[in-house]
Amino acid sequence: MDLKALIFDVDGTLANTERDGHLQAFNIIFERLGLDWYWSNELYHKLLNVTGGKERIKYYLDTYKNDFYHDDLENFIADIHRQKTDIYVELISTGLVPLRVGVKRLIDDASSSGLRLAIATTTSPQNVEALIVNTLGKKYMSLFEVIGAGDVVTLKKPAGDIYNYVLNEMKIDPTQALAFEDSRNGLLSASSAGIDSVITVNEYTNEHNFNEALVVLDHLGDENNNFNLIKGDTTHSKFVDVEYLRELNAKNC
């Protein structure tokens, strides 16, 4: 089928938000609350195998702080996560976390070419809006006709629920869409929904198994900053544009 939609993950895919945004926000709120918790970059690398902020905190406690007790742990974790989200939004608003190479160009190209755009992520809707508004501008929010985010589905990545939600909202077949991801959990989520993926790796995911991906790249590329092909068919293209994506989709649908 013809390509009709591009569905983007957010953290690590649109921008390198994990290290410069989420990790800092977690450590700031831990310190403000007087908790003796500190997540190093090395530890956070491991924690990212768990999708969802609240789920990540729970896993951290179970694995590294199993002597910690709170008489209402679920609500305590939820409150920490709410405050962490506020801090993250503040950090993003400073403009210190730019988009990854080629992201804005591809979104502009897709929009002008009539492709539909959507988001499928485990991060919160507030985080999605903060990143888009502060890196692209408020008008770009309207380009994404569906934002599947946070707790809109019960099971988070690697389950396919968030992608199935977006497909249902857009009323399209999975073969009419391509997913943009940066992690194995994201790839498995898209694959579970029947959607092929374009992967752009980052420092946390460059050693993940991406065997099911259409292509694996270091970034989307620009005219003066070509991508490096890590896995996939060699083509004449040196940056990801709509023509390149339609070619990929036609070969594999």
Would you please indicate which residues are annotated as catalytic (active-site) residues? Answer: 9, 11
Q: State the helix-helix crossing angle for 125-135 and 73-93, rounded to 10 degrees.
A: 10
The answer for residues whose C-beta is within 8 angstroms of residue 189's C-beta and 6 or more apart is 120, 157, 158, 159, 160, 161, 162, 163, 181
Place of tokens 């990801």: 240
Place of tokens 């969802």: 52
Tokens of 220: 């989307």
DSSP class of residue 183?
S
Element (H, E) at 185: helix 184-192
Q: How many CA within 13 A on the CB side of residue 46?
A: 9
DSSP class of residue 16?
-
Region label for 76, one of left (φ > 0), alpha (ψ between -120 and 50) or beta (otherwise): alpha
**What are the Cα distances from residue 79, in Å, to 30, 54, 85, 121, 152?**
12, 9, 10, 21, 18
Element (H, E) at 116: strand 116-120
